[in-house]
Amino acid sequence: MPGFQRIQYNRYGGPEVMRVEDFELPAPGNGEVAVRVKFAAINPIDWKLRDGQMKIVTGRAFPRAMGMDFSGIVTAVGNGVTRLKVGDAVFGLARFKDSGALGHALVTKEAFLAKKPDSVSFEEAACLGTPGVTAWNGLIDKAKLQANQHVFINGCAGAVGEAAVQIARLFGAVVSGSCSARDMERARSLGVQTVHDYRTMDLSTIATRFDVVFDTAATMTMSAGTAMLRRGGVYLDLNPSPGKFIRAIVDRRLKPVIGSPRADILEKLAAAAGERKFRIPIGEIVALNAAIQLITELEEGHKLGGKGLVAME
């Protein structure tokens, strides 16, 4: 299918390697779905992949596309696809190795998609995938969160942090957390009972002990995180390394988290979003021809107060 454009790069590197270029969309294979993208959300994983931080997984074949999270309309389905059909409004994630959400169209696994609820806009739906799946992987898959447990979320006003707050509340947990002073009121509105300003609060002085500590900001040391745990508690680490995976074998408190999408997670997120119990705020929307500039600014530390979105139409 000619006539499509996307952000891609021909070698690993910094923002300077990104280009908006033409590409041809392949036909979906077994268990795959082709989607015409309406909106794509920008995530830190996008530039981490482009930088080559995960080249052991992504390999050295170029050009490589960018973008993980999106919403859009199904345009074709491959053999074995049973949950979705042409014309369905969907949201979800691109395949990790291939990416491609930051473009007009992509092919991804059916298992990485869910139907968009009618009450959720395409803009809102595009924001849900990576934050929601990552938070769910940590709290539910790894920590086995239960009602009335106490959770501390470091970075509770970031995208994954806000997703974690809302998912923890959906499961009946008591949530505390840390964020910047300007975001504390928003964190409280989501249900964070006790909020600390990370710039002025020494987390080691918090007397409360928690069943789960989730470092969604990836700024805590493992020793600081595990020191905040109750007996039997779990520390969720969003910045895993080979050494941490090895340590996790012998230290049951440590659970490295890698976002792993599944249809059942996305469908539960869709249901919660449809009931207005789960959302990620939008900070700015730009066209595809302005997306490289926005990605560069976000990579340099610019804060939007919500997700950066790219409109494809």
pLDDT of residue 257: 92
205 and 285 housed in the same domain: no
- What mean pLDDT value characterizes the chain? 95
200 and 94 housed in the same domain: no
CATH of residue 164: 3.40.50.720
97 lies in a domain?
yes
211 and 136 housed in the same domain: yes
246 lies in a domain?
yes
270 lies in a domain?
no
Q: What is the pLDDT of residues 92-149, one digit of tens each?
A: 999 999 999 999 999 999 999 999 999 999 999 999 999 999 999 999 999 999 999 9
pLDDT of residue 250: 83
In three state form, how does the secondary structure of the chain look?
A: CCCEEEEEECCCCCHHHCEEEEECCCCCCCCEEEEEEEEEECCHHHHHHHHCCCHHHHCCCCCEECCCEEEEEEEEECCCCCCCCCCCEEEEECCCCCCCCCECEEEEEHHHEEECCCCCCHHHHHCCHHHHHHHHHHHHHHCCCCCCCEEEEECCCCHHHHHHHHHHHHCCCEEEEEECHHHHHHHHHHCEEEEEECCCCCHHHCCCCEEEEEECCCCCCHHHHHHCEEEEEEEEECCCCHHHHHHHHHCCCEEECCCCCCHHHHHHHHHHHHCCCCCCCEEEEEEHHHHHHHHHHHHCCCCCCCEEEEECC
27 lies in a domain?
yes
Span 264-284, average pLDDT: 97
CATH of residue 293: 3.90.180.10
Q: Please count the structural domains in the chain.
A: 2
pLDDT of residue 26: 95
276 lies in a domain?
no
Span 60-86, average pLDDT: 97
Asked if residue 313 has pLDDT above 60, the reply is yes
For residue 182, the enclosing domain spans 131-256
- 56 pLDDT band (50/70/90 cuts)? confident
Asked if residue 2 has pLDDT above 70, the reply is no
285 and 244 housed in the same domain: no
262 lies in a domain?
no
Pick the last residue of a domain from 256, 273, 295: 256
250 lies in a domain?
yes
204 lies in a domain?
yes
Q: What is the pLDDT of residues 199-232, one digit of tens each?
A: 888 888 999 999 999 999 999 998 999 999 999 9
Span 8-12, average pLDDT: 97
| Measured torsion, CA atoms of residues 106, 112, 117, 121, in degrees rounded to the nearest 10 | -40
191 and 239 housed in the same domain: yes
10 and 122 housed in the same domain: yes
